Structures are given as structure tokens and as C-alpha cells.
Structure 1
Amino acid sequence: MSSGSLLAAFLFMTVPLWLSYKQQLGISKDIVIASIRAFVQLMGIGYLITLVFSIKSPVVFTLLILLMIIIAARTCARRGGVFHHSFRIAFFAIITAEIVSVIIWILFDIVSYEAQYILPMSGMIIGSSMVAVSLTFDRLKREFDSTKEMIMGKLALGATNRQASQDLIEAEVKASLIPNVGAMKVIGLVQLPGMMTGAIIAGASPVIAVKYQLVILLTIFGNAAITSIMVSFLTYPAFF
């Protein structure tokens, strides 16, 4: 793909920009900034990964993954600012999910510990974990505000903080898994996911592409549950 063809893709942005201007939606600036940031960040990480591939050092790409986790945790901490130690909680949840994922991949010989496999797969896992942690922080606060009187009533009847928070945690974990469950139900019928599509475009066998996509899909689902449960249990004490 030439640079001109890549720049031509930005023509897709003219439609929302025109609609924003025509309907006075006030989102033109956000669209332009987001598009430019996406372009710069992805091109930058593309050249960086190329450099990492050329070095072929497990230490280097492991440090890069750690940096990605730190950035993801800092992003989550902004959503969890009302909670104490939100960065530590987010970092611990995301890095735990990443470690569990990599151990399973290596232990069962799904992929080898090489940059060309671990880096892109970890990027997808860390990104999905970041979304799950951010949503958990946000939903916990809103759920607590809406059920505060019920929790107070349970405490008055002698329940412990943990017992009083059971329904809150249960509702949050279920809510965090709804998008993943919904996506898994229609995948392959309505949606052809990115990794599978990219692998097919690159020339891989569709069956091989599907196998890798299933690994990512199931890993993301497991990580959503892991991070949501961890963040819920580490965060709810802050309400008391």
C-alpha cells in the first residue's frame, strides 16, 4: 500500500466532519485530533516494532510490553480517580491478565515467545483489559451510588462490607462480560474480526487465521472476567 493510498483513507473522515459542521454537533475538533493522533501513534509504533523485530531480544520487547501496560494503567487511573490507588489496582489487574495469557500461550505451545507473535497479541490483550478496567471503575461508582441505601440497610442488619457489596460486585462482573458475550454470539456471522481479516489479507490460510482469532477471542473473554473481578474486589473497600 502506497503512502498516497493510506492518505486517501482519510477521505472517510470527511463524512462525519461534514455532518458535524452541517448539524452543528461540535465534534469536528475531536474527530480531527483523534484521526491525527491515531495516524501518528500507529505509524510511530510501527517503526518501533520494526526496530524491536530487528534487535530480536526478548528483554527489549518484554520491556516494551511493560511500557504498554503502564500507559494502559495510567489511562484507566483517570477513570478511577475517585478511588485510592486506582493506578496500582489497574496495573496489577492488567499485568496479571497479561502474565496468565502469556503463560497459557507458551505452556500449550500456542505461540513461541518471539516478538512477532507476543507483541501484537499482547497489544490486543492489554487494550481489551484496559477497556474492561476503565468500565469497571466507572460502573462500580454508578452502581454504588444507585444502590447505596440498600447497602446501608444490609450493614444495619449486621452484614459485613463484603456481604453488603455482593450484589454490587455480581452486577458489575455480569455487566462487564455482556459486550464480550454478545460479540462471541455473532462473530463469523455478522462480524469478521480484525486479526482474522488481517491474516487473510496477508495471505494466511482462512482456517489458520480463524484458529489464531479464536485464541485471541477466548483470551480476551477470560481477561475481561479476570480484570473485572480483580478490580471489583480491590476497589469496593474504598466505598466504606
Structure 2
Amino acid sequence: MSTTSDTQHDPRVALVTGASGGIGAASVERLAADGLAVAVHYAGNRDRAEQLVGTVRDRGGTALAVGADVADETEVAAMFDEVERELGGVDVVVHSAGSMRLSRVVDLDLDEFDRMHRTNLRGTFVVAREAARRVRRGGAVIAFSSSVVKLALPTYGAYAATKGGVDALVMVLARELRGRDITVNAVAPGPTATPLFLEGKPQEVVDRLAAQPPLERLGEPADIAEAVAFLAGPARWVNGQVLYVNGGIA
């Protein structure tokens, strides 16, 4: 059997979805700092993706902006084609693209639920399926779950339901890739200071959530990117797991 060192490519190539801001952007910067060439995915904001590509290149790294609707299998396949053509292959896929709308279950507009489901669960499935076809031996697939799956916070029911599906997918796909030397895991952040989390929340709510972890602060995107880098590189014996990265909130 080949060892991990036998199957490394130079440079390794990472594709990061939802990479134009927040945790995705922090993950791009961290992986690039670790020496990976990075494909920076965007759905609607090409300018921010291109700015991030410029930042990586200014620091001596290799980066490429790629666009796709993560829930559209044709667009996702074309995105992987472009990454393979321009960067030589795919070793790491980080799927951080996501959507969150908060509401009590009894009040939620089902159109809102469908939109979250399309991005968070179908999108994860489509990207993971393509990753399973493309990622080279010795690689890693990293999806994004959420700590709210086990925290069971009111108004997060629909969002947590989509992320619970991600947990199940990761565990199954890890087993289906037996013999490929590819790890499949999910990162489950807690409250993290991103626009997605902060939008629409009164300051008192933010302060209350920030006080809950023993470390008494919100996570920062860079905190989550540390876990992504761990799973993308040295964590070859971590597989089929959901890694909670939440400062000890639960």
C-alpha cells in the first residue's frame, strides 16, 4: 500500500467553496500559507474572490478564482474541470458554502427551508460526489456542519436539519472511499464572528453567545481555518468524523 508521502503532489491543490468571505476566505489564506495552490470558489461575488486571489499571489502563492452554483452538478463538474486544467489536479476539497435563515419551526416559510436545503445539503452532496470522483490519492474532503446540530438552539431547527444531513453524508462517504487513501470529515463551528452569523442579531444576543464558551469569546474565522488546515494536511488518521470547533461551548 502506498504511504501518504508516496502520493503527495507538489504543490498540492485545494478547492475551497464559499471562499469569497468569512470562514472560506480564512481557509484559503491558511491553506495557501501552508503551500497549497488554491482555487477560490464564488457563487455571486467574483470581485471578492479575485481580491483574495490577488492577496494570495501577492504573498507568493498560487490561486485561481472559479465560479459555480454548488447545487448544480453540471456547473460543479465544470468547476472541477477548470481546477484540474489550470492547477493540475485536486487534492483537497473544502466545502464551506452555506446559507442560514433563522426561524421557529412553526413559523418558517418552506421556500426558505428549500433554499437552505439546496445550498447546505444538496450543495454538499453535489460537491462531495464530484470530489469523490476527482480527489487524488492522499487527499482530503472537508465539509461543513455546525455545532447547532447538537446544541439544539431555538430558531435553528431548519438550519440544523440541513447540517445533520452533512454529518451523515461524511460518515458514509468516508467508508465508501475505502482503499483510496482519502479522508472525509466535517468541521462543526460554534458561534463565529462572520457576516453569516452576525447578520440580524442584536448586540445583546451576540454578547450572550460569546459568553457561553469557557474561553468567553466568539470564534474567529482563523480559528476555524486552523481546523481545516489540520484535516487537510497532518490529520491522516482522522476520518469519518465531525470535528467540533467551538471553544468548548458543549
Q: Normalising by structure 1, report the TM-score.
A: 0.32
Q: Which has the larger share of helix?
A: 1
Q: Which has the larger share of strand?
A: 2
Question: Quick check: which has more Rg, 1 or 2?
Answer: 1
